[in-house]
Structure 1
Amino acid sequence: MAAMVSPVLWCALLCCLYSVALGGKEHNFVVVPASSFEPEAACSTSVTSELPNRASVPLAHRHGPCVPSGASGKPSLAERLRRDRARANYIIRKASARTKTLSAGDASVPTFLGDSVDSLEYVVTLGIGTPPVQQTVLIDTGSDLSWVQCAPCNSAQCYPQKDPLFDPSKSSTFAPIPCSTDACKALSADSYDNGCTNATDGGASLCGYAIEYGNHAVTTGVYSTETLTLNAGVSVSNFSFGCGSNQHGPYDKFDGLLGLGGAPESLVSQTSSVYGGTFSYCLPPTSGSAGFLTLGAPSNSTADFLFTPMRHLSPELATFYVVTLTGISVGGTALDIPPAVFSKGMIIDSGTVITGLPKTAYAALRTAFQSAMSQYPLLPPSENGLDTCYNFTGNSSVTVPKVALTFSGGTTVDLSVPSGVLVEGCLAFRGESSDGSSGIIGNVNQRTLELLYDSGRGSVGFRSGAC
């Protein structure tokens, strides 16, 4: 006769099985306090470590309390997403126009250079000139040519900024670039040239630059070289940048822009002889915390990174860094998305807020995410373009499913929860109009990850929990 199992043993066994099952479920969900979705009033800074062969500077949200010159008024979510949509549309149009074969009579090309500068969200503080003058500039992996506003510049020519204007006449290392140089001629290939300007002293004509962004903001001036100070011990000599003498459009008090794209004019390309064309950054989880921007690869080990191949859309689009997404999972369950949906690649962009997915992929993600969050009231779709937003009023905590992205090579990256999945209670993804164009991985999904762009190896690395 079979041995009898005592009620106590049965209870212990069932409790054990229940705990294992529950633990498996909980492993794919994260319980976060409802206060996680509220803005922070104070800055909780992180320290960037000094590593051999690398140069690091603190990075912060432009509308948060960690900006040295103080935060400016933060636009509403609807306004931020309106600007973001304009930027994303421009990038996708640019990518599509340069990578397709134009047929006879087809003149569909981007109208504007650059992208919507006022949608950019993260800044670093650098020194420019000798002695160095502090400048707080936007970082942008979707732009190449860096610039700051230069004195003399009156209110009709420049917009108000919080730091003092950079005055080239007070720097011992400033030098305008002559119009006849190869450096000036190279601006034409990347559509940054603006002809020649007359020198004030009657000497050789100078190299003019011009950028018009997708939101009609314009900066023009003289292409120049200067010493760029990244931190107390690291500087870049003869850094080529735009000394802006005429800026107009919807600018918002930042001092300029630092281009981190892949074209020759970018900081990354200009320092490639020292740092190998490699850089990384970590975008902080909230506007009240700090991250970092670093030039150079880790000299000790990259064992903590997960890598996927990097590619470019075409030689004419060296600016953008592209990876291949192969799958998405929600709450530990892989979504049924045909790999061909992602064939056009995903542009990783520090300046775009919301990730834009091919239509089919987003539909699958939205269905799975809404199912996993069904215990919370779903708000009606709003004019901000996001259709999966929640009302967490009355909840002391919120249970959010993990979302993971899988890239070519089998690399799977868990997004930070909630900061890398939700923005102000909304799923930080949107669907594009079709499956036939490149997508964009926005900066919300990148939060707390160190993204290592290694052009030499042709790869992008991801390190979790870096800031």
Structure 2
Amino acid sequence: MPPAPDTGTPPHNGSWVPLYHPLGPCSPSYRGAAAAAAPSLADLLRQDRFRAHRIHGKVSGGFRSSKGSYKEPVAIEETQVHHQAAITIGMGTQSMSSQRIGPAATDDDGTSGGPPPVSQTVVLDTASDVPWVDCVPCALAECPYYDPARSSSYAAFPCNSSACKQLGPYASSCANNQCQYRVAYPDGSSSSGTYSSDLLTITSGNTVSGFRFGCNQNAQAAGGGGPSPTNGFMALGRGAQSLMAQTSSAYGNAFSYCLPQRESDKGFFQIGVPGGASYRFAMTPMLRDPRRPALYRALLVAITVNGQPLNVAPEALAGGAALDSRTVFTRLPLTVYAALRAAFRDKMAAYRRASSPPQTELDTCYDFTGVRYVRLPRIALVFDRNAVVELDRSGILFGDCLAFTANDDDSAPAILGNTQQKTIEVLHDVGGGNIGFRRQAC
């Protein structure tokens, strides 16, 4: 039987939720011209470099690069949310008349009923393990944060609980016999507060009772202390605290997402393996390495430009590729990037190159003034078992520049950024041991 035609939309089952850019018009917190100003390209690249350092550090077991040890940068105002993907969740069973904090959490909380949850906008993070949301107090007149004092199902974990002990390096201290957590980010921001549990609502028919998360009470460091379009981060990593670990028995330890092409579009996020995945997706094995368990990785074996593979030695891609929802630009080993740049420039010879690139990292830019339509070469990523993933046009150029950049050298592995993932449903099937790609899914 031939494969069913791709409809370009996901199945609307109970685990499906819309995905959007936090600062785009599809976001519930969109404020038009009042939305936070986009960072300069230099700032975006700097923060993306911090993110890449973090990913490479997880792969190698420490934050080091060929240019020496990684140093924590000076703290900035807020964790970067531009060019990210977010969803809306519900936290707690909010009761405006209730002012109590629930009893100490156990390791097996039951399902709680009650008033509707508080909607929270959270950024998806596939390289993070501990989910967290901002908690009151906050400095705003209309506080958008989740208030644990108003949730009848909220509970804080005691310091001697197994959940607290399971935090490992994310455990920070004990305060009033309540377990404290801290998650640090390489851009200088952090989230810290009380490790807690409450009812998580993914959709009206899909809830997670006793959901373990960090109740962030350090808003100035992590949220910037001012209006923010997001309320926290939904960790989708492979650690024991992530959403996937907490829902693996119900959803088979799998999730997928599709990042939209434009900020004015919506994508989707889905927990579980989509129906017909075996023939609707280009599948490649998920790399398993007990020394590097934190990331989702696959073996990238080739890159083609207009169907022609780059002329690079096979060992240049031997480190595989880490898939990340928050790195903006795909980063390639130095030799591989140089070959891609040369092939791309050759196919784009008919167009005028920009006199000077806006940043040295994006070094292949064009001046399309007066050009009505730009014919881009086709770029495809080829993974193990011949899983060919042709990129959407929106995944090739960022502005008028080639949306790829290079690692410091050939030792660090590739990172597949979210620009190249646009319009592609990316399936992370940990239970089945595969990563899948479905083109033109959103």
TM-score bucket of the superposed structures, by smaller chain: 0.7 to 0.9
The one-letter amino acid of 1:284's match is P
1:50 matched residue in structure 2: 12
Is 1:69 matched with 2:29? Answer: yes
Is 1:324 matched with 2:324? Answer: no
2:371 matched residue in structure 1: 395
What aligned pairs does 1:13-52 form with structure 2 within 5 A after superposition?
49-51=11-13
What aligned pairs does 1:181-260 form with structure 2 within 5 A after superposition?
181-188=161-168, 191-198=169-176, 205-249=177-221, 251=223, 253=228, 254-260=230-236
CA distance in 2, matches of 1:267, 1:84: 24
Q: CA deviation at 1:318?
A: 2.6
- Contact kept? 1:117, 1:214, Cα under 8 Å: no
SS of structure 1 residue aligned to 2:212: strand
1:124 matched residue in structure 2: 87
What aligned pairs does 1:84-233 form with structure 2 within 5 A after superposition?
84-98=48-62, 117-118=79-80, 121-130=84-93, 131-151=116-136, 153-155=137-139, 164-188=144-168, 191-198=169-176, 205-233=177-205
2:250 matched residue in structure 1: 274
Q: CA deviation at 1:251?
A: 3.6
- Contact kept? 1:220, 1:246, Cα under 8 Å: yes
> What do the CA deviations read for 1:199-240 (whole angstroms, capped 9, x no partner)?
xxxxxx111101121111121111011111111221111110
CA distance in 2, matches of 1:166, 1:281: 25
Q: CA deviation at 1:110?
A: 7.9
SS of structure 2 residue aligned to 1:382: coil
CA distance in 1, matches of 2:242, 2:166: 13
CA distance in 1, matches of 2:146, 2:63: 39
2:112 matched residue in structure 1: none
- Contact kept? 2:53, 2:63, Cα under 8 Å: no
1:462 matched residue in structure 2: 437
Q: CA deviation at 1:396?
A: 1.3
1:305 matched residue in structure 2: 281
CA distance in 1, matches of 2:141, 2:288: 35
What aligned pairs does 1:374-385 form with structure 2 within 5 A after superposition?
374-379=349-354, 380-383=356-359, 385=361
> What do the CA deviations read for 1:41-63 (whole angstroms, capped 9, x no partner)?
xxxxx976422xx5011111122
What aligned pairs does 1:418-429 form with structure 2 within 5 A after superposition?
418-429=393-404
> What do the CA deviations read for 1:240-292 (whole angstroms, capped 9, x no partner)?
00011123336461211100111111101110000111000000011110101
- Contact kept? 1:277, 1:456, Cα under 8 Å: yes
1:447 matched residue in structure 2: 422
Is 1:414 matched with 2:414? Answer: no
Q: CA deviation at 1:312?
A: 4.1
CA distance in 2, matches of 1:460, 1:347: 11
Identity in percent? 40
Q: CA deviation at 1:78?
A: 2.8
Q: CA deviation at 1:332?
A: 1.8
Q: CA deviation at 1:309?
A: 0.8
The one-letter amino acid of 1:61's match is H
Q: Give the total of aligned pairs.
A: 397
What aligned pairs does 1:359-374 form with structure 2 within 5 A after superposition?
359-374=334-349
Cα 1:234–1:246 change in 2 (3 A) is same
Q: CA deviation at 1:197?
A: 1.1
Question: Unpaired runs of 5+ in structure 1?
Answer: 1-45, 101-106, 199-204
Q: CA deviation at 1:351?
A: 0.4
- Contact kept? 1:335, 1:364, Cα under 8 Å: yes
Q: CA deviation at 1:162?
A: 8.2
SS of structure 1 residue aligned to 2:194: strand
Please give the root-mean-square deviation of Cα atoms over the aligned residues, in Å.
2.4
SS of structure 1 residue aligned to 2:394: coil
CA distance in 2, matches of 1:66, 1:47: 17
Q: CA deviation at 1:387?
A: 0.4
CA distance in 1, matches of 2:277, 2:434: 15
Cα 1:343–1:162 change in 2 (3 A) is farther
Cα 1:196–1:247 change in 2 (3 A) is same
Structure 1, 388-397 or 255-264: larger mean CA deviation: 388-397
Cα 1:300–1:402 change in 2 (3 A) is closer
- Contact kept? 1:94, 1:109, Cα under 8 Å: no
Question: Unpaired runs of 5+ in structure 2?
Answer: 1-7, 94-115
Structure with more helix by fraction: 1
Structure 1, 74-83 or 350-359: larger mean CA deviation: 74-83
- Contact kept? 1:66, 1:289, Cα under 8 Å: yes
CA distance in 1, matches of 2:401, 2:143: 34
SS of structure 1 residue aligned to 2:182: strand
CA distance in 1, matches of 2:374, 2:262: 17
SS of structure 2 residue aligned to 1:165: coil
SS of structure 2 residue aligned to 1:184: helix
Structure 1, 438-447 or 71-80: larger mean CA deviation: 71-80
CA distance in 1, matches of 2:435, 2:141: 34
- Contact kept? 1:404, 1:415, Cα under 8 Å: yes
Cα 1:161–1:438 change in 2 (3 A) is farther
What aligned pairs does 1:352-363 form with structure 2 within 5 A after superposition?
352-363=327-338
CA distance in 2, matches of 1:431, 1:162: 44
Which of 265, 269, 278 aligns to 2:241? It is 265
- Contact kept? 1:220, 1:245, Cα under 8 Å: yes
Cα 1:161–1:242 change in 2 (3 A) is farther
2:109 matched residue in structure 1: none
